[in-house]
Each structure stands twice: as structure tokens, then as C-alpha cells.
Structure 1
Amino acid sequence: MADIERPSSPTPEEREKLDAEAKKKEQEEQSRLPYKWTQTIGDLDISASIPANIKGRDLDVKITKTSLKAGIKGQELIIDGTLPHSIHVDESAWTLETTKSGKELNIHLDKANKMEWWAHVVTSAPKIDTTKITPENSKLSDLDGETRSMVEKMMYDQRQKEMGKPTSEEEKKMEMLKKFQEQHPEMDFSQAKFS
């Protein structure tokens, strides 16, 4: 019987190259969007350049719990689509601000789930890799101990899930089963299932 060669996992150098290529592709996709956006674990901010002669009344901005529409009346919308997750409409807002180069439409969205990174602003836009998000340490350290450990655990679990690996809870269960098996070698665990 011939040996079947299994594809090997990428070396750290290959992984770094793949990550760099993915990041470059992601940056190119994001730079083509007619807006820029940033997020924290709790909210999301969008900005778009607007001609200097535009006034607030010339804009069409509609923010709902699950969708966002924004643009200049009578022109192609800057953003229009379904949000990937719901928001608190009462805590979200938009402003039109004067800048050195014209005006800027700023939209602030308050996430309903304060423990979730968004892969995109609207579901029709290209996604970013949320596993590569590193929250600013100052922001994470601003949290009290209990909240911080919960956020860190959730970030770990999200990364594990996206890589197809067990979450911290599943790891704990597997560790407990392993210890129990070591303590009771006479028992057969071949049919054991977790729920």
C-alpha cells in the first residue's frame, strides 16, 4: 500500500507570508470603500468625506436597529445595507463636521452586543479578519478585573472557534475527562460524548 502524503501545515515563515498577503488584500478592499471605519468592542465609527458645500439637510441618513443608509440626497449612497449585528438606535448618531479639506460625515453606532467584533459595517461590504484584531491595551486595561478577564476569555474563545479548536470551556471539560480517565482506567470512555 502506497504512503499517502498529507499536506503539511504551513511553516511559521509561510504562515507569516500568507498572513501578510491576506492583510494586504484586506487593506486594498477596505481602501476602496467610500468610507473609513473603526471599532472598539462596544461601538463602531464611520467617516466619509463630503463636499464642502453640502449642509446637514442635504444628507439622507437613516439608522435602524439592523440597517444603515447614508449619503447625499439625489446621489448614489455612501453606505446602504444590513448591519451584521444589531445596534442601540437611541445611542447611535451622525454628525456633519467641517474639516480642512471640506466636510466629513461621521456616524457612531452603539453595538447591542458589547462583546463582539464586527467583520464589516454592512453585510454587503468585504470582511476583515476579526481574529487579527488586537484591542488597545489601554482600553482593555481600563476595564475592571472581572470584565477584563471575561473579554479576554471571549476573545480567546472566538479565535479558537474560528480556527476550529476547542473553546476554554471545551478544553476544561476535556481536561476533566482526561483526569477522570486517569483515575478510573477500568472504565471504557470510547463512547463518551459531550453536550
Structure 2
Amino acid sequence: MAHFDESSGIVPMKTPWGRWWQTIDEIYVEIVVPDGTNSKDIKCDIKPKKIKVSVKGDTVIDGEFVSPIHADESVWTLEDKKLVEMCLPKDKATAANCWTSLLVGQYEADPFTYDQMEKKMTLQRFQYENPGFDFSNADISGQYSGGGPELPSHS
């Protein structure tokens, strides 16, 4: 069975350096770097509340996260010497913790993209809570801000 993100797609926010997107659990960052870049050309300083990424001495990303992450569990890789991929686990992994931007005052999602991110995370929450159902192609309407309405408990 495909992972929820693989079957439902992502809602990316484009940036000058690439794009970022999120799930309930993680923030993903892709940075396009000059073709032929080596891993030694990349410096990633990832802390629970801050990040700084430099490529060949030029700062690409520098700022404070909207919400803390688990820096010690974060990973980055260089793919095909042209793309840095990062996975940054959120400290608060809930559907209600939908980030409005990657960094404070930087790379903010426009209202439409943010709306789509919230919908995606709500569907992901439904998938977690109802593992026998496939919500990857579902669409929701109505009130979903803050991770959606409370689901009835199955007691």
C-alpha cells in the first residue's frame, strides 16, 4: 500500500531557491543548487528553532522556524549533485499545526496554498485515524481549519 503522501500528492510552496511542503509529521525542503555541486559545498546548520543553509559560501536559507522541529532527527541529502532534499520532523505533529510559512516572515504560503495544505493535513489525519480507508483522492469541504472537526470516538 502506498504511503498517503505518495498516493495523494503534495501541496508545495514555491520559493526563490526551490520549494517546501508539509505533512502532519514533517516539513520537506528542496533547494535547487548549481549542477555539479558536491556535498562538501553545502553547509546545513539545523537547530530546533533555526536553520541556516549555505551553498558554496552563499547563504540560501537563514532564519527562525515558525514552530520548533526535532533537529537531531532531521536529515538532508544531495540528489544528483543538483538538489538538496531535507526532512525536518515537527516537534508538534498534529493536523492543527499547519505552518503558514517555513520561517518567521519568510516563504509564506499564499492563502490558496495554505488552504490546500490545511485540507491535505486534515485528510492525512483522517487516514491515520481510519487506516482501513483510502482518503488519498478525497475532497473535503466545510470547516477544517485547525485540523478539522473532532471525530467521534469509537468506544
What's the offset of the Cα at 1:120? 1.0
Residue in 1 aligned with 2:32? 49
Describe the superposition over 1:105-151 as per-residue Cα deviations: whole angstroms up to 9, x where unpaired. Answer: 11111000111111111113142233443117873443135xxxxxx
Q: Which runs of 5+ in 2 are unaligned?
A: 1-11, 131-142, 151-155
What's the offset of the Cα at 1:159? 7.9
What's the offset of the Cα at 1:71? 2.1
> Does residue 77 of structure 2 align to residue 95 of structure 1?
yes
How far apart are the structure 2 equivalents of 1:123 and 1:137? 23
Residue in 2 aligned with 1:158? 146
Residue in 1 aligned with 2:99? 118
The letter for the 2-side match of 1:72 is: V
With over 3 angstroms needed to count, the CA separation of the structure-2 counterparts of 1:55 and 1:92, relative to structure 1, is same
TM-score by length of 1: 0.54
Contact 1:62/1:69 (<8 A) preserved: yes
For residues 162-173 of structure 1, the aligned pairs below 5 Å read: none
What's the offset of the Cα at 1:33? 2.3
Q: Which has the higher helix share?
A: 1
Larger Rg: 1
Which of 48, 53, 61 is the aligned partner of 1:79?
Answer: 61
Residue in 2 aligned with 1:66? 49
With over 3 angstroms needed to count, the CA separation of the structure-2 counterparts of 1:33 and 1:97, relative to structure 1, is same
What's the offset of the Cα at 1:92? 0.9
SS at match of 2:83: strand
Contact 2:98/2:121 (<8 A) preserved: no
With over 3 angstroms needed to count, the CA separation of the structure-2 counterparts of 1:157 and 1:139, relative to structure 1, is closer
The letter for the 2-side match of 1:60 is: K
Describe the superposition over 1:65-93 as per-residue Cα deviations: whole angstroms up to 9, x where unpaired. Answer: 00111121322x12110001000112211
> Does residue 18 of structure 2 align to residue 39 of structure 1?
no
How far apart are the structure 1 equivalents of 2:19 and 2:99? 14
Q: Which has the higher strand share?
A: 2
TM-score by length of 2: 0.66
Contact 1:91/1:110 (<8 A) preserved: yes
Divergent runs of 4+, >4 A: none
Residue in 1 aligned with 2:133? none
The letter for the 2-side match of 1:117 is: C
